[in-house]
Amino acid sequence: MQFVHETLPQRVRFASGAAAEGLVAEVAALGAQRVMVIAGAAEKDLADRITAGLPVVHRHSDVVMHVPLEVALRARAAAAKQDVDVLVSVGGGSTTGLAKAVALTTGLPIVAVPTTYAGSEATAVWGLTENSAKTTGSDPRVLPRAIVYDAALTLSLPVELSVASGLNALAHCVDSLWAPRADPINQALAIEGARALRVGLPLVAAEPDAVAGREKALYGAYLSAAAFASAGSGLHHKICHVLGGMFNLPHAQTHAVVLPHVLAFNAPGVSDAEHRLAAALDAPTATEGLARLGNRLKAPRSLRSLGMPSEGITEAAQAVVTAAPAGNPRPITVDAITGLVRAAWEGADPR
């Protein structure tokens, strides 16, 4: 056994109903006096409530999916104008992503308060979209200094969005099994994250107003993101980044649709990890386990239903092959990826 594993420096607070107290403690620990709160319109009331005890000088609500460059530039200008010394993001992946876009050029610290299971808060990965192309990268400046997890804040997330967001988290687990820096430690995190999500997401669907399932799902989402942060971005995420940037598809739902097809494609090349993932999903094979979970959760099935045009399949496949990371368990060819994307567009059963 030989590997190099990097654990990212970050403090995690996990306590339901304690977001406001956690934020006060984390902002004080940074010695910050001028807070910029980033939260979209849907999270405004929630953000106002949990940041009431902070020295807020600016509240920023201009949040857009996939972080268009012009949106990032406006947020950076606002941070400079208000001379802020810390960013507090309250929301899902788009909100965290905008905070990262500001931190990327300013070096401002981020305290992230997730309200979904996106996982961006636990990674040093940033993304910006310009001219229908999404560019991603990794930079230690964008890793939030602290995460304040409060499962009670996810109670308002509708079941349909909870399912998509949770399957997005599961995609972090799956991609971590074969990503460029996959190692036994991040694989262990990924397997435990998958198990927690397999248990938690059906509880969220069955009892959306109960905290227990939300806590389990949030715990799984963090583990999956921590694994992904170490392992790097594999084939699945490259496909979804291309599709999201090219066709402006909803982020979490795109991951939910594409994931079963990438797993079925790569599983034969990672037999040991596949067996462990199958056990975590409580099924004879990982592909079967994911299919059962998707059926149970009524997960979205096709890219067509998300608004992707059929004429974009070939162009997307070619872009994926160009962006795909080295070392994938199976050869990545235009024909193979075209078939995979077409199957996901049609909503075919990957089994």
CATH number, residue 318: 1.20.1090.10
Q: Are residues 26 and 80 both part of a single domain?
A: yes
Residue whose entry in the numeric block shows the structure tokens 């971590």? 176
Residue 240: predicted pLDDT: 95
Q: Within this chain, do residues 42 and 174 fall inside the same structural domain, yes or no?
A: no
Tell whether 133 and 47 lie within a shared domain: yes
- Is 95 part of a structural domain of the chain? yes
1, 75, 98, 298 from 256: Cα distances, Å: 33, 29, 22, 11
Boundary-marking domain end, from 137, 154, 171 = 154
Residues 315 and 292 reside in one and the same domain:
yes
Q: How confident is residue 218, by pLDDT bands cut at 50, 70 and 90? A: very high
Of 132-136, 314-318, 323-327, give the lowest mean pLDDT range: 132-136
Judgement on whether residues 175 and 133 belong to the same structural domain of the protein: no
Task: Determine, yes or no, domain membership for 6.
Answer: no
CATH code of 103's domain:
3.40.50.1970
Q: Region 129-149: what's the mean pLDDT? A: 93
288 and 199 fall within a common domain? yes
Report percent pLDDT > 90 for the chain: 93
Residue 133 is predicted with a pLDDT of 84
Residue 83 lies in a domain: yes
What pLDDT shows up at residue 247?
95
Co-location of 184 and 148 in the same domain = no
Regarding whether 290 and 213 lie in a shared domain, the answer is yes
Please report whether residue 69 resides in a domain.
yes
Nearest to 289 by CA among 199, 164, 206: 199
pTM of the model: 0.91
Alpha carbons 256 and 319: distance in angstroms, whole number: 20
Q: Is there a single domain that holds both residue 89 and residue 167?
A: no
Residues 99 and 114 in one domain: yes
Look at residue 1 and tell me whether its pLDDT is greater than 90: no
Both structure tokens of 311: 């004429």
In a domain, 351, yes or no: no
Whether the predicted pLDDT of 280 surpasses 90 = yes
Res. 237 pLDDT band, cuts 50 70 90: very high
pLDDT above 70 as % of the chain = 100
Show which of 118, 134, 154 is a domain's final residue: 154
- Residues 79-115 pLDDT 10s: 999 999 999 999 999 999 999 999 999 999 999 999 9
In whole angstroms, give the CA distance from residue 257 to residue 341: 10
pLDDT for 134 beyond 90: no
DSSP 262-282: HHHHHGGG-HHHHHHHHHHTT
2 located within any domain: no
Rounded to the nearest integer, the mean pLDDT of the chain is: 96
Domain ends where: 111, 135, 154? Answer: 154
Whether residue 5 lies inside any domain: the answer is: no
Query: Are 127 and 199 in the same domain?
Result: no
Asked if residue 149 has pLDDT above 90, the reply is yes
Q: Residue 246 sits in which domain range?
A: 159-346
Say yes or no: 34 and 149 in one domain. Answer: yes
User: Is 100 within a domain?
Assistant: yes
Domains in the chain, number: 2
Write out the DSSP string of 200-219.
Answer: HHHHHHH-TT-HHHHHHHHH
φ, ψ of residue 329 in degrees (nearest 5): -60, -25
Comparing 118 with 345, which gets the higher pLDDT? 345
Q: What is the pLDDT of residues 23-57, one digit of tens each?
A: 999 999 999 999 999 999 999 999 999 999 999 99
